[in-house]
Amino acid sequence: MQLTLGAVTVRGALWVVLGILVLAPLTAILIGAIRPDLLGGVTASNLPSATLWSATRNSLLLGVGVAVIACTAALILALSMEVLAPPLSALWEALLFLPFLSAPYLLGLAWGALALPNSIFSRHFGPFSNLLSRFVFSLIGIAFITATHLVPLVYTMIRGYLAGTGWRYEFAARVHGLTRSATFLRITLPRLAVPLAAGALICFLAGIDEFGVPAMLGPYMGLTVLTTLIQSNLDVWPINLAAATRIAVVLLGMGLLAWGFYRHYDRVAGLDYSRPRSTNAGLSWTGVLASAGIAVWVLFTSVLPIAVLVILALLRADTLGIHWNNLTLQHFATVLMPGRSGFQALTTSFNLAWSSSLVALLIATLVAFAERSGKRIDHALDLVTTMLNALPGVVLAVALVLVWNAPWNPLPLYSHTALLFVAYVSVLLPLALRYAKTATTRVEPNLLTAARVHGVSQTTTIIHITLPLMLPPLIGGFSIAFVFAMREFVTSVLLQPPGTNTVSTFIFNEAQQGNSGSAMAMAVVSLSLSLATVGILYSLLWWKRRRHNTAGLRKTPSELLPANA
């Protein structure tokens, strides 16, 4: 295809945008690690290597633990849904996505409150209270809690893969006389290695990058991981920006390594979006059993922690315990009062979330279309964007300060809400790209050629062919990006401009000032807002599919996550 002037302009613009969003912060952090004197201020004492080593080891263990737990749980859940076809499957699938909506640090906080022995919560657990406490305040517990919010992601990858490849190999095996269990062991499981490997690497990346959960639970057992080590070097003085930058580079190295492997599977696992007709076999006792199992999982990973957050938001005085006359709606009133800082934080986050999600998706779609040309330079665009996956949030925040506050930078973005917008777009880009790629694969070049052959104008083609095809995954991508932005924690806390609060900075500050009631009320309100947004968008998708599709294809919430994540 001949590159037109327009195409060249779009590519030039993309490189400029990615240069600002990705390359500049990456360069800044690498320069900072090599020449810390350029960072200014005190370049304090060296970091004890024993501390760095133990934090690195803990981060690795956490990453591996998260990957193993999330993949195991997701595999069991996906196979139960796929093979046992439990009743009410749409409901279960929707519920499985609940942990994805809440910020991991809130999950950590809730589990911490639940697991304290003899507390107002665990008093009701009897002999289990000790067991729970020992589990939650351990490396495995931290890995488990981090894993719960990643399970939906791996679950979607597995089901997307199965849906994309279908069951024809299994059919062939059965036709040739293999037993049901042998087919499962020798065909299905090996086949699932592909989405599982991709899921494991994504979870490993998320595990070493996780800050909230180890920050909430780690101190109880003196556990430090790389992210919390970076934060304590940035947050508790003597501030050691140089050490923080160096640890960040260690983390970046680990991330890049895992991401290098992941990219391989990303291509293998990349599959189409449509799903097969569901085989609703009616009621069977295995199906009911599977439902019960899934219900227990949902109860422990979503209902319990969210209930704790709600209770904490309702308590008047924590020491007095859970009693009707110790409940109040006052914290919610504080948060929702128009004009007050809580309400402003909610508005700011809401506006930031939708605008940055839209822009990230727009950039990602352009990158995805450019990548289709197959040119090496356009692949580089894709490479640069997904590289953000390997860049932990803390590192990105430090890098953004270095770039946007540099004396040579003429744009006065720093200390404006606009910087948060830039940070959010950077954070959301890799996620948006996954959806955009799914979306562009749906637009087959043949369709466009057919339109052109029939003399349809470019605008009409876009409106009647390209957009309708791309819209469902893009809406899915938008809702997930929106949720991510609503709960974004690390960069918001570090880049928060004077006079601006976001949901997460509000929660963080309130909790730090000992106002856990209003902090938790905000958590519950923003969680409900995210839930409502995803719910509305999902019903929109469902309704649209219902209206357009006479084939009775079923739409499940997992389509809100990318099939080839």
Partner 1 sequence: MRQYYLMILVAAFIATSAHAGTITVYAAGPRNLDHALTVAFEKATGNHVKLWASSTGKVLARLQAEHSKPHADVVILADWSAGLVLQSQGIVAPYRPQRFFSKLRPLLKLPSSFLPMGADTIAIVVNTQRLSKGQSIKDWSNLTNVAYRGQITMPSPLLSGTASDFVLGFLQQPNEGGWHFFAKLKANGTIWPGPNAAALAPVKFGSRSVLMAGVGHTSLKAKKRGNSLNLILPQSGTLLIPRPIIILKSSKHLVTAERFVDFVLSRAGQQLVSKALLIPALSDVRPNPIWPSLQHAHFWKVDWVRMAKDRAATLSRFNATVIH
Give the whole-angstrom CA distance, residue 152 versus residue 77: 10
What minimum distance in Å lies between the beta carbon of 518 and partner 1? 11
Nearer to partner 1, 44 or 76 (CB): 44
Nearer to partner 1, 405 or 539 (CB): 405
Q: Hey, which residues does 315 pair with through a beta bridge?
A: 327
Nearer to partner 1, 1 or 317 (CB): 317
Is 237 exposed, middle or buried, given 0-12, 13-18 or 19+ CB atoms closer than 10 A? Answer: exposed
What minimum distance in Å lies between the beta carbon of 539 and partner 1? 38
What minimum distance in Å lies between the beta carbon of 238 and partner 1? 6
Nearer to partner 1, 77 or 401 (CB): 401
What minimum distance in Å lies between the beta carbon of 203 and partner 1? 26
The encoded tokens of residue 452 equal 């052109």
Contact 78, 92 (CB under 8 A): no
Contacts by residues 180-188 (CB-CB < 8 Å, ≥ 24 positions apart): none
* 315 φ, ψ (degrees, to nearest 5): -70, 135
What minimum distance in Å lies between the beta carbon of 528 and partner 1? 24
What minimum distance in Å lies between the beta carbon of 399 and partner 1? 11
What minimum distance in Å lies between the beta carbon of 57 and partner 1? 14
Contact 197, 560 (CB under 8 A): no
What minimum distance in Å lies between the beta carbon of 118 and partner 1? 5
Which residues, at least 6 apart from 409, have a Cβ–Cβ distance to it below 8 Å? 403
Buried b (16+ CB within 10 A) or exposed e, 381-411: bbebbbbbbbbbbbbbbbbbbbbbeeeeeee
Residue 185 is given by DSSP the state I
Nearer to partner 1, 197 or 243 (CB): 243
Q: Is 315 helix (H, G, I), strand (E, B) or coil?
A: strand
Is 368 exposed, middle or buried, given 0-12, 13-18 or 19+ CB atoms closer than 10 A? Answer: buried
Which of 392, 393, 386 shows the shortest CA–CA distance to 488? 393
Give the whole-angstrom CA distance, residue 253 versus residue 4: 39
Contact residues: partner 1, CB under 8 A: 39-42, 44-45, 48, 112-113, 116-123, 215-216, 219-220, 222, 232, 234-239, 241, 316-321, 341, 398, 401-402, 405-407, 410, 412, 414-415, 493-494, 496-499, 509-517
Nearer to partner 1, 13 or 329 (CB): 329
What minimum distance in Å lies between the beta carbon of 48 and partner 1? 7
Nearer to partner 1, 226 or 433 (CB): 226
Nearer to partner 1, 194 or 418 (CB): 418
Q: Residue written as tokens 């973005």?
A: 413
What minimum distance in Å lies between the beta carbon of 510 and partner 1? 8
What minimum distance in Å lies between the beta carbon of 19 and partner 1? 21
User: What is the 3 state secondary structure string of 149-179?
Assistant: CCHHHHHHHHHHHHHHHCCHHHHHHHHCCCC
Nearer to partner 1, 39 or 451 (CB): 39
For the chain, state the CA radius of gyration: 24
Q: Is 405 helix (H, G, I), strand (E, B) or coil?
A: coil
Which residues, at least 6 apart from 540, have a Cβ–Cβ distance to it below 8 Å? 475
What minimum distance in Å lies between the beta carbon of 299 and partner 1? 22
The encoded tokens of residue 302 equal 């979503």
Nearer to partner 1, 457 or 512 (CB): 512
Give the whole-angstrom CA distance, residue 278 versus residue 280: 6
Nearer to partner 1, 28 or 271 (CB): 28
Residue 375 is given by DSSP the state -
Which of 474, 472, 477 shows the shortest CA–CA distance to 428? 477
Nearer to partner 1, 42 or 189 (CB): 42
Nearer to partner 1, 460 or 512 (CB): 512
Give the whole-angstrom CA distance, residue 219 versus residue 155: 31
What minimum distance in Å lies between the beta carbon of 532 and partner 1? 28
Is 50 exposed, middle or buried, given 0-12, 13-18 or 19+ CB atoms closer than 10 A? Answer: exposed
> What is the secondary structure of 70-123 as a DSSP string?
HHHHHHHHHHIIIII--TTHHHHHHHHTHHHHS-HHHHHHHHHHHHSTTSTTGG
Nearer to partner 1, 243 or 294 (CB): 243
CA-CA-CA-CA torsion for 373, 374, 378, 379, nearest 10 degrees?
150
What minimum distance in Å lies between the beta carbon of 351 and partner 1? 19
